Structure 1
């Protein structure tokens, strides 16, 4: 009775980062920093704020769902038929932070989007860590 066509999948990327949550939060919520590691944007860390991420290949329509400073950030991520939710969770760990990103909402028939996200978020995480190092 299990209909796999309605099965929803999630991409999860987790890293321990050698920076405090406050510094990572700035990189996740300040538009000029988001542009450095992700895409151009008009983001504001305000619940219900609609924003757009733009790149050479197109854009992503987003809306902020949850903001808990230095702890949790969640927003919709809708592009090319994919309707998903991206959630960032920051957990202090020693002198650094455990950073977890989940993108949920991939249907079984969205294999290309799912695989693309798995690859893309690894690259975005690497870019994010470069931005964090660059902030001093």
Structure 2
């Protein structure tokens, strides 16, 4: 099997892990910062993420450790193999003195997927910017 690459984005949020966890796991909040979805916080739950660009991602919840870790598959079918992607997204929350350190890893990019890898790197930064705004508004 060929080696794969991982996009890793880390950011400090000035909110407690419980608040960040809600934004990562409540469908209406996920819709505000990531994509429309039918997510349920249940191990093995299969759900879809629907991008504004028309793409649909097939996902399955792989790991749940409340307020600490959330992982799910992130699979995108595409006729062009350079864009098709089978990956795993893992969020890790660590409490800090001033809030929460969030680490997101998206693993599974093949070496021939440079554009998808770069797009994911830029895309997650934008998602985290939106997440910061959702957290600022949410109670």
The ranges of structure 1 where at least 4 consecutive aligned residues each deviate by more than 6 angstroms after the TM superposition are none
Instruction: Provide Cα deviations, 1:51-79, integer angstroms capped at 9, x if missing partner.
Output: 00002321110000001110000000000
Number of residues of Structure 1 aligned to a counterpart in Structure 2 = 132
- Alignment-derived partner of residue 33 in structure 1: 29
Q: Check whether the contact 2:17–2:93 (CA below 8 A) recurs between aligned residues.
A: yes
CA distance in 1, matches of 2:87, 2:121: 14
Correspondence for 2:57 among 56, 60, 71: 60
- Alignment-derived partner of residue 47 in structure 1: 43
1:86 paired with 2:89, answer yes
TM-score, normalised with respect to structure 1? 0.94
Instruction: Provide Cα deviations, 1:11-57, integer angstroms capped at 9, x if missing partner.
Output: 00001111000000000000000000000000011110000000232
CA distance in 2, matches of 1:120, 1:78: 16
- Alignment-derived partner of residue 81 in structure 2: none
CA distance in 1, matches of 2:75, 2:119: 14
Q: Check whether the contact 2:42–2:61 (CA below 8 A) recurs between aligned residues.
A: yes
Q: Check whether the contact 2:6–2:107 (CA below 8 A) recurs between aligned residues.
A: yes
Deviation at 1:112, TM superposition (A): 1.3
- Alignment-derived partner of residue 73 in structure 2: 76
The unaligned stretches of length 5 or more in structure 1 are none
SS of 1:19's partner is coil
Deviation at 1:95, TM superposition (A): 3.0
TM-score, normalised with respect to structure 2? 0.92
